[in-house]
Structure 1
Amino acid sequence: MQRRSVVLLGATTLAAPALLRAQALEKPKLTIAVGGKNLLYYLPLTIAESLGYFKAEGLDVTIVDFAGGSKALQAVVGGSADVVSGAFEHTLIMQPKGIRLRAFALQGRAPQVVLGINPKTMPGFKSVADLKGKKIGVTAPGSSTNVLANFVLAKAGLKPSDVSIIGVGAGAGAVAAMRSGQIDAISNLDPVITLLQRSGDLKIVSDTRIVAEADKAFGGPMPAGCMYAPQSFIDKNPATVQAIANAIVRADKWIQAAGPADIVKAVPESYLLGDRAVYIDAFLASKGALSVDGAIPPEGAATALRALQSVDDSLKGGKFDLAAVWTNEFVKKANADPKIRR
């Protein structure tokens, strides 16, 4: 009986820190929406979940995966999700509509979106202008992959209406669409891109996995995957938001110190798309574009707005409060926390 009491006491002691943190949170049980959780774009989210960083902060997180970021955005706007793991630019897109969203922890410091053409259906491809009248696959219409495709098209003098945009998801469906010739080009992310490239089913046209190239293309730092939420949620649940930021920053730092083998062990088998070597190559290609500390670059909102306005006339001429769509308040506290700095 005495031995059993000691065992129970030990278990309670181990669980106590997370239990105490949960009691201090306004909303310990919450839902996070994401569009394409298997993508390296959202790797910090997966790591925070798989390595128990959310639980360590006292959070009971349910992650709901959608076909693309625009669907995840709809979930939080509609009230079925509390927080989104999604593209930074969605915070700007929704501001003119009176929907106040704010990013509070960064996962990616470059978009990591790659636009490539299908060598089978476009063997004579010479320039982006050749995409006029063609079918371009994106994760979901209105997602960040769609935005980047529009941005590249605009630089070549093409309008969004000059092509057909088709949602193909962020996994095996996207790969199948390219290999079967259903689409002539694709705007997607890793590991989909690396898998198609290695099998000869993709010729890269624009690659924003390389931070320097992304900065040059967009004219400044372009924040990508981030954690964002309605301002009302942040105001009502500051301790909960801090806990989320702590978990993501911890994941960001772990990824930067991890090797490919560590990453493969930490993600679900389904993420590998049947080829461990491809996933490792994809991780190495994307690692430099992932955030090192969760901080959002101060110039990021202005860069994102310029990119959006270059492809969406409805956003031109409007007044935007750039300071209202991001904050590093929670990330600064996370980086100052001794348990996260390790």
Structure 2
Amino acid sequence: MSPAWAGDSPTISIMVGGISKFIYLPVKLADQLGYFKDEKLQVELLSQPSGVDAENELLSGSVQAVAGAYDHTIDLQSKGKEVCSIATFLQVPGEVEVVSKGSPMKSMADAKGKTLGVTGLGSSTDFLTRYMALKSGIAMQQYSTLPVGADNSFIAAVQQRRIDAGMTTEPTVSRLLAKGDASVMVDMRTVEGTQKALGGIYPFTGLYVDAGWLASHKQQAAGLAHAIARTMAYIHSHSADEIADQMPKDYYGGDKALYVQALKSTLSMYTPDGKMPAGGPENVLHVLAAINPAIKGKHIDLSRTYTNAYVAAAPAH
């Protein structure tokens, strides 16, 4: 048993793979709205620039939960580690492959000899980049991958021409487009764009915990899931302006109007109720198996990678 669980600390630490990103907005919004407190939970939100770093914090026992990408649960099971997603934020990745101004790239088929930016090596942006390149006939050895983080560090990499193209999320995408520093090449902010890029729906971020912690902390897990389910209902019953008003002002990047506009264009990516969408896990496994030899041909029990039990039991407010 991890030392982090010993003595049952009253505080649940959640590591977020980039707390100001829209793909993790539900966990910060739940905190801002006081929904964790309503569940009698003391929650601490921490942030790492990349989801793969957040995953490592969970495995070391430093945190009790991660707001990260669902695909890590499958990747970890292939390595003999059991983590389980208890609430799903996004039914699509919300990720965008942007092309730096002046780059000759028009599609992923042009990636040969180019440098592609990802948040971190082994991160979900890395997985998706490799899959889209492979689908376009470009092998991993034919391009370079550079970890450039998110937000300002990603923008700097684009502006300094250190990457030809790269994968990032809102509100970073809108900030780049507004300044004319980049253009959209692959858009996975919508169901249509995701199906075109990845061949189906692709549940992306959510809240996952270690299976051992889950088995002995069902009440806390239920509280976390209930707070997220309630937050998803809030997102779908309030305007982008109202949601933005609940968020910390430093998340706006100095431009609240741009933040609201970016949020408005991406509200459809959030799940209505925090549940894992049907068929989603199978497509995520299909994508990962195509790029990861450790997963291809290995039996992955998808039923152990997520549960809808806790969000389904959320009381109506």
Residue of structure 1 in register with 2:192 after alignment: 212
Residue of structure 1 in register with 2:236 after alignment: 256
Is the CA contact (8 Å cut-off) linking 2:116 and 2:163 kept in structure 1?
Answer: yes
Pick aligned residue for 1:57 from 36, 39, 44: 39
Is the CA contact (8 Å cut-off) linking 2:132 and 2:197 kept in structure 1?
Answer: no
Partner SS, residue 266 of structure 2: helix
Q: Deviations over 1:126-169 (max 9, x none)?
A: 33222222221112221111111112111111122322222222
Q: Deviations over 1:76-108 (max 9, x none)?
A: 011111111100000000002110111110111
Pick aligned residue for 1:90 from 66, 72, 84: 72
Structure 1 residue 27: Cα displacement: 5.8
Residue of structure 1 in register with 2:118 after alignment: 138
Structure 1 residue 257: Cα displacement: 1.4
Code of the residue aligned with 2:99 in structure 1: it is I
Task: Indicate yes or no: 2:292 matched with 1:312.
Answer: yes
1:126–1:298 Cα change, 3 Å: closer
Task: Indicate yes or no: 2:178 matched with 1:188.
Answer: no
CA RMSD of aligned residues (A): 1.4
Is the CA contact (8 Å cut-off) linking 1:106 and 1:223 kept in structure 2?
Answer: yes
Task: Indicate yes or no: 2:100 matched with 1:118.
Answer: yes
Partner SS, residue 300 of structure 2: coil
Structure 1 residue 333: Cα displacement: 0.3
Task: Indicate yes or no: 2:155 matched with 1:155.
Answer: no
Task: Indicate yes or no: 2:316 matched with 1:338.
Answer: yes
Task: Indicate yes or no: 2:285 matched with 1:268.
Answer: no
Partner SS, residue 182 of structure 1: coil
Residues of 2 paired with 1:158 and 1:32: CA distance?
37
Q: Which runs of 5+ in 2 are unaligned?
A: 1-7
Residues of 2 paired with 1:191 and 1:160: CA distance?
28
Code of the residue aligned with 1:68 in structure 2: it is S
Q: TM-score, normalised by structure 1?
A: 0.87
Q: Identity over aligned residues, as a percent?
A: 32
Structure 1 residue 229: Cα displacement: 0.7
Partner SS, residue 217 of structure 1: helix
Number of residue pairs matched by the alignment: 310
Code of the residue aligned with 2:61 in structure 1: it is G
Q: Deviations over 1:15-42 (max 9, x none)?
A: xxxxxxxxxxx76411101111100001
Q: TM-score, normalised by structure 2?
A: 0.94
